């Protein structure tokens, strides 16, 4: 059985990845490293937790040693919009924590998964069916840290056989923990507003396509890749994955089919729009499909049904 450490387990992805990993590998085999709240329900009760500053290598090393960890999911990151406002922090967290995880992994023979992002692409990248191997000249500091992350992860594999694997995640739509400071956050916020019965101000222009994915598929992507037969992997860091390419009007229409009174207006953010325009419209994820059978389950319709169902349940619990 694997012994897993999640670094950054209280964020948008970590709060759900920890539950899924514990259900698959057992509570005792998954250690949740946390730095900041909010703490998901039952977080401290369900298994081991350790306060870890990912920029401090000693804190990672001690935890890996203490629990005999063999696999690290490193989720420490500053998302694209916040990163533009604080490039030093973005670099220290994005690159610093990854180097720490890789160095600890090299010493203690751990596998490492650090999600990359569609942010690794830039204006010179082909926008439609963006290939797996193509131009990566991002204009954001977030994208730059993710390109460095991909390259350094491959380097640790090539030189020291550290088992590094990763996916280029698109915008993740979820209903447990809000994302913080990304360009694709609007695709989550729109659902919270719709279910709350409020109007939504969309920061991204109509017609701006970006890849998106529902959280259950994102969790499967990371876990299935880490479980994949290494003999089949031609690529490692990082695989294109997507499940839908959306622009705001498509989400608005899907929500209004289910909540007809919902209204959206536009209040476009210059920064978010310029980042969105520099990212692909839709990725070609055929390498992930061929090399480790990537096959997402949620399309726009299924995801919209589920998001509204879960958020309505949460709302009625709060109102009880």
Catalytically annotated residues: 142
CA distance 21 to 16: 9
DSSP-derived 3-state class of residue 106: helix
CA distance 11 to 182: 12
Minimum Å gap between C-beta 181 and ligand AKB is: 7
**241 within 8 A of 168, measured Cβ to Cβ:** yes
Tell whether residue 118 is a contact of ligand AKB (CB under 6 A). yes
Tokens of 254: 């899907």
Q: Which residue is nearest to ligand AKB (CB)?
A: 182
CA distance 224 to 220: 6
CA distance 240 to 232: 16
Is the CB of 31 or the CB of 213 nearer to ligand AKB? 213
Minimum Å gap between C-beta 212 and ligand AKB is: 9
Judged by CB under 6 A, the stretch of 22-30, 35-43, 169-177, 310-318 that binds ligand AKB is 169-177
Minimum Å gap between C-beta 176 and ligand AKB is: 15
Judged by CB under 6 A, the stretch of 49-57, 165-173, 226-234, 307-315 that binds ligand AKB is 165-173
Q: Count of CB atoms within 10 A of residue 90's CB? A: 22
Cis peptide upstream of residue 38 (ω within 30 degrees of 0):
yes
Task: Considering only CA atoms, give the Rg of the chain.
Answer: 19
Judged by CB under 6 A, the stretch of 19-27, 91-99, 114-122, 214-222 that binds ligand AKB is 114-122
Judged by CB under 6 A, the stretch of 115-123, 221-229, 238-246, 247-255 that binds ligand AKB is 115-123
Tell whether residue 11 is a contact of ligand AKB (CB under 6 A). no
Strand 210-214 with 244-246, pairing: antiparallel
DSSP-derived 3-state class of residue 252: helix
| DSSP state letter for 12 | T
The one among 79, 105, 194, 264 contacting ligand AKB by CB under 6 A: 79
Tell whether residue 174 is a contact of ligand AKB (CB under 6 A). no
The one among 49, 80, 130, 237 contacting ligand AKB by CB under 6 A: 80
CA distance 54 to 116: 17
Minimum Å gap between C-beta 170 and ligand AKB is: 6
**166 within 8 A of 118, measured Cβ to Cβ:** no
**283 within 8 A of 240, measured Cβ to Cβ:** yes
**275 within 8 A of 138, measured Cβ to Cβ:** no
The one among 119, 122, 149, 248 contacting ligand AKB by CB under 6 A: 119
The site for ligand AKB, by CB under 6 A, has a size of 13
Is the CB of 29 or the CB of 237 nearer to ligand AKB? 237
Judged by CB under 6 A, the stretch of 29-37, 52-60, 167-175, 200-208 that binds ligand AKB is 167-175
Tell whether residue 184 is a contact of ligand AKB (CB under 6 A). yes
Minimum Å gap between C-beta 146 and ligand AKB is: 8
Minimum Å gap between C-beta 255 and ligand AKB is: 20
Residue 165: phi and psi, rounded to 5, are -145, 150
Strand 71-74 with 4-7, pairing: parallel
Tell whether residue 49 is a contact of ligand AKB (CB under 6 A). no
Residue ranges that bind ligand AKB, judged by CB under 6 A? 79-80, 117-119, 142, 169-171, 179, 182-184
């Amino acid at each position: 059985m694997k012994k897993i450490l999640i670094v950054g387990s209280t964020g948008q992805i970590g709060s759900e990845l920890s539950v899924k990993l514990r259900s698959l590998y057992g509570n005792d085999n998954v250690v949740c490293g946390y730095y900041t709240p909010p703490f998901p329900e039952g977080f401290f009760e369900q298994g081991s937790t350790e306060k870890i500053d990912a920029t401090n290598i000693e804190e990672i090393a001690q935890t890996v040693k203490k629990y005999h960890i063999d696999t690290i999911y490193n989720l420490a990151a500053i998302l694209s919009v916040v990163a533009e406002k604080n490039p030093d922090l973005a670099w220290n967290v994005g690159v610093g924590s990854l180097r720490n995880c890789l160095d600890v992994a090299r010493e203690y023979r751990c596998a490492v998964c650090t999600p990359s992002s569609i942010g690794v692409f830039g204006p010179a990248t082909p926008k439609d069916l963006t290939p797996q191997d193509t131009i990566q000249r991002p204009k954001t500091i977030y994208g730059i840290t993710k390109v460095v992350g991909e390259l350094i992860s491959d380097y640790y594999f090539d030189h020291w056989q550290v088992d590094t694997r990763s996916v280029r995640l698109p915008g993740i739509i979820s209903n447990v923990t809000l994302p913080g400071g990304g360009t694709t956050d609007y695709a989550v916020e729109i659902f919270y507003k719709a279910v709350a019965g409020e109007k939504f101000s969309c920061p991204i222009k109509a017609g701006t396509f970006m890849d998106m994915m529902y959280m259950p598929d994102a969790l499967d992507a990371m876990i299935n890749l880490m479980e994949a037969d290494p003999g089949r992997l031609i690529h490692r860091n990082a695989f294109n994955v997507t499940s839908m390419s959306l622009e705001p009007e498509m989400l608005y229409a899907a929500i209004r089919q289910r909540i007809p009174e919902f209204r959206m207006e536009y209040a476009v953010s210059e920064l978010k729009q310029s980042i969105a325009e520099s990212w692909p419209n839709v990725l070609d994820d055929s390498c992930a499909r061929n090399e480790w059978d990537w096959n997402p389950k949620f399309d726009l319709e299924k995801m919209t049904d589920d998001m509204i169902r879960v958020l309505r349940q949460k709302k009625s619990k709060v109102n009880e």
